[in-house]
Amino acid sequence: MLEVLTKTERRTLDACVETARDRLGDRLTETEMQELVDATYPLFLESGRQISPQFRTPEQHAASASRAQIDADAVEVWPCR
Protein backbone atom coordinates (compact mmCIF):
# COMPACT_ATOMS: atom_id res chain seq x y z
CA MET A 1 0.00 0.00 0.00
CA LEU A 2 2.88 2.40 0.70
CA GLU A 3 3.87 2.30 -2.97
CA VAL A 4 0.91 4.56 -3.79
CA LEU A 5 2.41 7.42 -1.80
CA THR A 6 3.99 10.37 -3.57
CA LYS A 7 7.61 11.28 -2.80
CA THR A 8 6.41 14.07 -0.51
CA GLU A 9 4.01 11.76 1.31
CA ARG A 10 6.69 9.09 1.74
CA ARG A 11 9.23 11.65 2.97
CA THR A 12 6.77 13.01 5.53
CA LEU A 13 5.85 9.50 6.65
CA ASP A 14 9.54 8.69 7.14
CA ALA A 15 9.92 11.92 9.15
CA CYS A 16 6.93 10.94 11.29
CA VAL A 17 8.49 7.55 12.10
CA GLU A 18 11.84 9.16 12.89
CA THR A 19 10.10 11.68 15.18
CA ALA A 20 8.43 8.82 17.06
CA ARG A 21 11.72 6.98 17.49
CA ASP A 22 13.54 10.10 18.66
CA ARG A 23 10.91 11.23 21.14
CA LEU A 24 9.68 8.00 22.64
CA GLY A 25 12.44 5.49 23.09
CA ASP A 26 11.14 2.92 25.56
CA ARG A 27 8.72 5.20 27.40
CA LEU A 28 5.21 6.46 26.64
CA THR A 29 3.13 8.75 28.83
CA GLU A 30 -0.12 10.52 28.03
CA THR A 31 1.77 13.83 27.78
CA GLU A 32 4.35 12.34 25.41
CA MET A 33 1.63 10.86 23.21
CA GLN A 34 0.05 14.30 22.84
CA GLU A 35 3.44 15.88 22.18
CA LEU A 36 4.05 13.35 19.42
CA VAL A 37 0.68 14.07 17.84
CA ASP A 38 1.50 17.79 18.00
CA ALA A 39 4.99 17.24 16.55
CA THR A 40 3.64 15.35 13.54
CA TYR A 41 0.98 17.94 12.67
CA PRO A 42 3.35 19.95 10.42
CA LEU A 43 3.89 16.77 8.40
CA PHE A 44 0.15 16.67 7.73
CA LEU A 45 0.29 20.28 6.57
CA GLU A 46 3.22 19.51 4.27
CA SER A 47 1.79 16.41 2.63
CA GLY A 48 -1.94 17.07 2.76
CA ARG A 49 -2.43 13.57 4.17
CA GLN A 50 -3.54 12.71 7.67
CA ILE A 51 -0.33 11.43 9.22
CA SER A 52 -0.52 10.91 12.94
CA PRO A 53 0.47 8.19 15.36
CA GLN A 54 -2.03 5.69 16.65
CA PHE A 55 -1.55 4.24 20.10
CA ARG A 56 -3.02 0.79 20.63
CA THR A 57 -2.45 -2.07 22.98
CA PRO A 58 -1.86 -5.48 21.39
CA GLU A 59 -5.44 -6.37 22.36
CA GLN A 60 -6.85 -3.26 20.68
CA HIS A 61 -4.82 -3.99 17.57
CA ALA A 62 -6.01 -7.60 17.44
CA ALA A 63 -9.64 -6.42 17.62
CA SER A 64 -9.22 -3.79 14.89
CA ALA A 65 -11.11 -4.32 11.65
CA SER A 66 -8.20 -2.69 9.81
CA ARG A 67 -5.56 -4.94 11.42
CA ALA A 68 -4.51 -6.67 8.20
CA GLN A 69 -3.94 -3.39 6.37
CA ILE A 70 -2.10 -1.91 9.34
CA ASP A 71 0.14 -4.98 9.52
CA ALA A 72 0.91 -4.70 5.81
CA ASP A 73 1.97 -1.04 6.13
CA ALA A 74 3.33 -1.04 9.67
CA VAL A 75 6.68 0.44 10.56
CA GLU A 76 7.94 -0.81 13.91
CA VAL A 77 9.20 2.09 16.01
CA TRP A 78 10.03 -0.09 19.01
CA PRO A 79 9.08 -3.65 19.86
CA CYS A 80 5.88 -4.25 21.80
CA ARG A 81 6.32 -5.83 25.17
2 domain-assigned: no
44 domain-assigned: yes
Please state the domain count of the chain.
1
| Low-confidence residues of the chain: pLDDT under 70 | 1-2, 26-27, 76-81
**Per-residue pLDDT, 15:** 86
SS (H, E, C) the chain: CHHHCCHHHHHHHHHHHHHHHHHHCCCCCHHHHHHHHHHHHHHHHHHCCCCCCCCCCHHHHHHCCCHHHHHHHCCCCCCCC
Structural domain of 40: 7-73
60 domain-assigned: yes
| pTM recorded for the entire structure | 0.53
1 domain-assigned: no
**Per-residue pLDDT, 79:** 61
